[in-house]
Structure 1
Amino acid sequence: MHLNKQGVRILGIAESWTGRERSILAGVVMRGDLRIDGTVLSHLTIGGMDGTDAVISMFSSLKRSDINLILISGAAIAWYNIINPDRIREETETPVIIITYEDSEGLEDAIKHHFPGDEERIQEYQKLGSRDQVHLKTGHTVFLRRSGIPPETALHVLDRFTMDGRVPEPVRVARLIARSVMRSLLTGI
């Protein structure tokens, strides 16, 4: 990955959901100079297990060979819909970073409570392994799960794409788009 190029491209993915059956997933392709270079939308099932497939489908639908990294906001989105970064990296041949923002003891007990007997979901969650705690140049702490990218490079990417706070621009913009689409669906616009 050539991170010093202005034209480096990251696909940032974030979601928005309310008590509906589906979640809106938005993706933003952003260049190193912070210009938006593409967008993509998808949806996934609240409480389902289709998050990984949705991310892979979004990447594939863009039909681009110039995306250098996939950055996903959250590992258990849309009410415990577990994302598998290794499978995404293998199928897209693109490194993956999953970023989360809160320290926690993990979600295994909550998954067992809400999805009793769902061994597939527990196994997918356990495959995620532990998170790396990193400190951004902005002074904020975030937590990462990575596939196909070393920790130092991951931190460099996040520092480059985080202007302030703790949310990198590609996922910040993707989240804004997802929320806007969800709002439009709820109001019938």
Structure 2
Amino acid sequence: MQLQKHGIRVLGISESFSDREWSVLCGVVMRRDLHIDGFCFGKVRVGGMDGTDEILRMISSLNRQDVNVILLNGCVIAWYNIIDPTFIAERTNLPVICVSYQDSEGLTEHIKHHFPGDDNRIRAYVGLGERMTVPLKTGLELFARGYGCNEPEVRQLLRIFTLHGKIPEPIRVARLCARNLMQYTRLEKKSGNPSSG
């Protein structure tokens, strides 16, 4: 990961999860100088296991060769839809960093409760590995896992892209976009607009 590059580009991906069936994903390509020069969108099934495939489809849809890092707002989205960052890193040949914001004892028992007998989901979650704590320049901290990159690289990239609070800018913008798209989609459904199909 060439963090010294002024033109380093991060693809930040976040979701808006408020629908009963689908969660909306947005990806934002952002340079180190915070210039935004790309978007992609997707959706995953709430409680499904399609997050990894959909994120790979989103990355492919961008058709970009200049993205340096993929930054995910969590490895577990859309009600225990578990992403496989190792597979994404291998398929794209790009480092993947997953971030979260609260300390936790883990989700294993929650997954067992909501998806009894789903050993594949449990293995996918356990396979994510341990999180590291990342102190930020803002005085706050977040938690991260890195795949295809080392711990110092994870820490440095998150400090570069986190300007306020503890949410990295590519993820903050992606989350805003996903939330607004979700709200628009819900309004379209309520209005019965044919374009919402």
User: In the alignment, what sits opposite 1:133?
Assistant: 133
User: In the alignment, what sits opposite 1:37?
Assistant: 37
Secondary structure at the counterpart of residue 91 of structure 1: helix
Query: 1:17, CA displacement in angstroms?
Result: 1.5
Deviations 1:157-183 (A, max 9, x none): 111111110000000000000000000
Deviations 1:11-52 (A, max 9, x none): 000000113211000000001110001000000000000011
User: In the alignment, what sits opposite 2:60?
Assistant: 60
**Aligned-partner residue type, residue 123 of structure 1:** R
Q: Residues of 1 paired with 2:77 and 2:111: CA distance?
A: 12
1:1-189 equivalence runs, <5 A: 1-188=1-188
State the superposition RMSD in angstroms: 0.9
Aligned residues: 189
Q: Residues of 2 paired with 1:123 and 1:2: CA distance?
A: 32
**Aligned-partner residue type, residue 131 of structure 1:** R
Deviations 1:43-62 (A, max 9, x none): 00000000111111111111
Deviates more, 1:131-140 or 1:174-183: 131-140
Q: Residues of 2 paired with 1:26 and 1:51: CA distance?
A: 12
Deviations 1:57-94 (A, max 9, x none): 11111111110000000111000000111000000110
Gaps of 5+ in 2: 192-197
TM-score, normalised via structure 2 length: 0.94
Q: Residues of 2 paired with 1:143 and 1:126: CA distance?
A: 16
**Aligned-partner residue type, residue 16 of structure 2:** S
Q: Residues of 2 paired with 1:14 and 1:91: CA distance?
A: 20
Secondary structure at the counterpart of residue 181 of structure 1: helix
Q: Residues of 2 paired with 1:2 and 1:39: CA distance?
A: 22
Q: Residues of 2 paired with 1:132 and 1:55: CA distance?
A: 23
Query: 1:3, CA displacement in angstroms?
Result: 1.4
**Aligned-partner residue type, residue 125 of structure 1:** Y
**Aligned-partner residue type, residue 112 of structure 1:** K
Query: 1:5, CA displacement in angstroms?
Result: 1.8
Query: 1:4, CA displacement in angstroms?
Result: 2.0
Report the identity percentage: 52
